[in-house]
Structure 1
Amino acid sequence: MSHLKQAVKLIQEGDRYSGHGRFFSEFIDDWAYRQTGLYNLSKPLSETQSKIAHQLSHVIRSAWETCPGEDFIGHVIEECGGSGHLSFFRTPPALSTLMAKMMGGSSGPEGFADICCGSGSLTLAHINQTYLDGGAKAVARLSITGEDLSGNKIKVAMLQIVNLLDILGEGKPLYVHSLRLSEVNSLSREEGIVQYDFTGTNNPRCRLNEEQKGLINKALLASIPAEVISEVLRVPVNLVRWEEKIGARNHKVNLCETA
């Protein structure tokens, strides 16, 4: 079964517990919160929904790894019937890639604005093409701005961009120079709630709540690999490794004090 069919099937299963057309939006809110620690959920997922969400995030991550730079979540939104009261049409992958190639390269900081970015099709293609053309150094020169009227789409774009950088980096840090994603009316310039500011680490003011820290520390004590913990809890792997470093540092301090 294709990634798209798997994703749609899981979303339909989730709708049984959320109400028709609501699960995917709740799933995006949940994942975006786990990824960044920003914007508390108005309605946490139930245990059953969380199990479906874990499976869905695994399918989406696998799809991203298969075709880096493609707007997979945008494809899923289209397949599931659009975007509620807002019309949504993703930019086709071939056109996104063509436009990215037409942008060319630069030896200095390179600005890229994606107004009405939706789920981030053009930005994803541009980052991927920049990496193919010039590697990590070229990506590090990118200064990207993305805007959309829908806060949910901004969360989708953030998730796809953060994970694309992680996938392209192949285990090594891959950074853009700067990235700002904003929920904003591009005509009136009225800003909404969802605002992500990226600087250096590609994790916009990321933080873990106490429950997440507790679960991570228990998993680390059980010798579960950081990558597995990251996938199951849907939090950035670098934050898991940071908790691992803190734990090791505290253990070393305790040993010294005991001695």
Structure 2
Amino acid sequence: MTNLLKQAVNLIHDGDRYYGHGRFFHEFIDDWAYHQTGLYKPSHPLKDEVTTISDELSNTIREAWEAVPGEDFIGHVIEECGGSGHLSFFRTPPSVSLLMAKVLGGSKKLEDFADICMGSGSLTLAYIHQTFIDGGSKAVARLNIHGEDLSGNKVKVAMLQILNLLDILGGGQPLYVHSMNLCEMNSLSRECGLVQYDFSGPNNPRCRLDERQRKLVQHSIQQGVPEDILSKKMKLPLSLVKQEIAVFSQGNA
């Protein structure tokens, strides 16, 4: 885990050479969140010069998530890189997150869970993971998650970590929460920001492929283009690409 953290930090420093200190990782998260959901297109697309760095960084982060499911790896990376710009950022230690998750316990009914000032999602990640350990997929499927943070970029980080945690825990099978709302919010004034993710059912925002995109995806599938490459090239959420592949495969079975 330590080696992966060092690798991630070094890649971020490499990216900063093209952006200035502290900017690359922010832009990287904006780009990744857009590709994951299809929402909130980045105002500044990643530069071509950092494509290789970006790919290596996303692979490193995914490897860390798989090594220790439920841990706030990106939060750790942000700390190692010197914080979060003009906003103070203090990651909840994994031991504290785990303790709180265990204390909160579980339920056999629909269960509401709120994480106010969630930052990069430490507590929510630990809670989902502990719920899965205690009760499996059925227990996770009863969760109604609400999270909010002043920083829209942190909301995107939390979203990425939560969706990938569900994917990892599912082990190739769909793992759903009952609902999840993550929003950019001033927790004191209750003023809403731009970033709002509203999840239900398959844990994806309400977005669909249009007919042109569907035909391009189907053609690419026939040509053997890998789904992750297809997602990046077409600027489409990976979840929607996988969904269309499944539908297309069933129709041609």
Q: TM-score, normalised to structure 2's length?
A: 0.90
Q: C-alpha root-mean-square deviation of aligned residues, in Å?
A: 2.6
Match of 1:146 in 2: 147
Asked if the contact 2:35/2:232 (under 8 Å) is kept, the reply is: no
**2:9 is aligned with 1:34:** no
C-alpha deviation, 1:238, in angstroms = 3.8
**2:87 is aligned with 1:86:** yes
Match of 1:163 in 2: 164
Cα distance per residue 1:14-70 (max 9 Å; x no partner): 011111110000000000000011111110112222221111000000000000000
Assess, with a 3 A threshold, how the Cα gap between structure 1 residues 208 and 159 changes in structure 2: closer, same or farther. Answer: farther
Match of 2:51 in 1: 50
Match of 1:61 in 2: 62
Asked if the contact 2:38/2:236 (under 8 Å) is kept, the reply is: no
Match of 2:16 in 1: 15
Assess, with a 3 A threshold, how the Cα gap between structure 1 residues 58 and 231 changes in structure 2: closer, same or farther. Answer: farther
C-alpha deviation, 1:209, in angstroms = 8.2
Q: Give the residue type in structure 2 aligned to 1:109.
A: L
Q: Give the residue type in structure 2 aligned to 1:165.
A: L
Asked if the contact 1:36/1:207 (under 8 Å) is kept, the reply is: no
Q: How does 1:220-235 map to 2 (within 5 A)?
A: 220-226=221-227
Match of 2:195 in 1: 194
C-alpha deviation, 1:108, in angstroms = 0.3
Q: Give the residue type in structure 2 aligned to 1:73.
A: I
Q: How does 1:104-123 map to 2 (within 5 A)?
A: 104-123=105-124
The range that moved more, 220-229 or 19-28, is: 220-229
Assess, with a 3 A threshold, how the Cα gap between structure 1 residues 34 and 218 changes in structure 2: closer, same or farther. Answer: same
Asked if the contact 1:58/1:231 (under 8 Å) is kept, the reply is: no
Larger radius of gyration: 1
Asked if the contact 1:34/1:233 (under 8 Å) is kept, the reply is: no
Match of 2:181 in 1: 180
Match of 1:96 in 2: 97
Cα distance per residue 1:114-166 (max 9 Å; x no partner): 00000000000000000000000000000111010000000000000000000
Q: Distance in 2 between matches of 1:98 and 1:82?
A: 24
The range that moved more, 155-164 or 44-53, is: 44-53
Q: Distance in 2 between matches of 1:165 and 1:36?
A: 15
Q: Distance in 2 between matches of 1:226 and 1:103?
A: 38
Asked if the contact 2:69/2:169 (under 8 Å) is kept, the reply is: yes
What is the total number of aligned residue pairs between the two structures? 252
The range that moved more, 43-52 or 18-27, is: 43-52
Asked if the contact 2:15/2:24 (under 8 Å) is kept, the reply is: yes
Q: Distance in 2 between matches of 1:212 and 1:77?
A: 35
Assess, with a 3 A threshold, how the Cα gap between structure 1 residues 134 and 214 changes in structure 2: closer, same or farther. Answer: same
Structure 2 counterpart SS, 1:2 = helix
